[in-house]
């Protein structure tokens, strides 16, 4: 199915979303449910999301990501949205962080691609680079490279700075950074989770060919174009 045909559909596309319990993923779920372009939203999550997953459009799969391959047959969608992510502090170790932010996204992408998904969107990070001196940024760079190697028909990589929004968990360092960076140059300013989600959905519907990288300073512009 080519991207032009996809764009003409109404309520016919299927979205696959991972990370809906997080800040950006939760916003993505809202927008996918509201979008007339998507008739079904498959949510892959480690715990029951409650009310947000009760919408008629939504199919919730509560699974162990270590056994994601067991669910391959149901991971069928036109577009995949990956908002998986944690912090080293919350993960408890670098190894566990790498598992959540690198291994899980790539495994999800591999399975969805085998099922003929056409577009993949991922929340990466400002400064992501395989050559970065910072472990966090190297992991983000590695996952970007892994996705590129799969040769997706359409791949969108979003690189936000600090993500702003009301979290269900306490992240004091991120909250402090959010306040400090509000007056920084555009490249470093916090980006609203709602803008990231809106931009992800807008770009997925457009499904530009090859690789599209949306840097932090451009995310709000993409979000506004979807309204």
**pTM (two decimals):** 0.88
Q: What is the pLDDT of residue 225?
A: 77
Q: Which tens digits make up the pLDDT trace of 18-66?
A: 999 999 999 999 999 999 999 999 999 999 999 989 999 999 999 999 9
pLDDT at 224: 85
Give the pLDDT score at 166: 73
Residues 68, 72, 74, 80: what is their CA dihedral angle, to the nearest 10 degrees? 80
Number of compact structural domains in the chain: 1
- pLDDT confidence of residue 4: 47
Q: Minimal CA–CA distance to 74: which of 29, 121, 33, 115?
A: 115
Buried b (16+ CB within 10 A) or exposed e, 122-146: bbbbbbbeeeeeeebbbbbbbbbee
Which CA distances in Å does 212 have to 192, 196, 197, 207?
20, 14, 16, 9
What CA–CA distance (Å, rounded) separates 150 from 154? 11
> Mapping DSSP to helix (H, G, I), strand (E, B) and coil, where does residue 83 land?
coil
The reported pLDDT for the residue numbered 173 is: 58
> Using an 8 Å Cβ cutoff, are 127 and 139 in contact?
no
- CA-based torsion, 47, 199, 181, 136: positive or negative: positive
**Is 136 designated active site?**
yes
pLDDT at 176: 56
The stretches in the chain having pLDDT less than 50 are 1-9
CATH number, domain with residue 134: 3.40.50.720
Instruction: Give the domain extent around 145.
Output: 3-224
Catalytic residue from among 38, 102, 104, 140: 140
* Contact status, residue 99 vs residue 135, Cβ threshold 8 Å: no
């Amino acid at each position: 199915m080519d991207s032009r045909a996809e764009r003409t559909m109404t309520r016919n596309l299927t979205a696959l979303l991972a990370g809906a319990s997080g800040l950006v993923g939760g916003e993505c779920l809202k927008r996918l449910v509201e979008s007339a372009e998507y008739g079904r939203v498959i949510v892959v999550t480690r715990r029951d999301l409650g009310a947000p997953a009760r919408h008629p459009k939504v199919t919730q799969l509560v699974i162990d990501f270590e056994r994601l391959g067991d669910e391959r047959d149901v991971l069928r969608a036109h577009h995949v949205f990956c908002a998986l992510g944690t912090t080293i502090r919350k993960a408890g170790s670098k190894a566990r962080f790498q598992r959540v932010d690198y291994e899980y996204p790539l495994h999800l992408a591999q399975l969805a691609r085998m099922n003929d998904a056409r577009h993949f969107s991922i929340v990466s990070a400002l400064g992501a680079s395989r050559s970065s001196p910072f472990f966090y940024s190297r992991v983000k760079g590695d996952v970007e490279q892994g996705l590129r190697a799969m040769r997706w028909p359409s791949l969108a990589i979003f690189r936000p700075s600090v993500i702003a929004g009301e979290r269900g968990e306490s992240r004091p360092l991120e909250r402090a950074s959010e306040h400090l960076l509000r007056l920084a140059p555009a490249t470093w300013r916090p980006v609203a989770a709602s803008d990231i989600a809106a931009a992800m959905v807008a770009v997925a519907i457009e499904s530009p060919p090859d690789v599209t990288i949306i840097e932090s300073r451009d995310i709000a512009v993409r979000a506004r174009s979807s309204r």
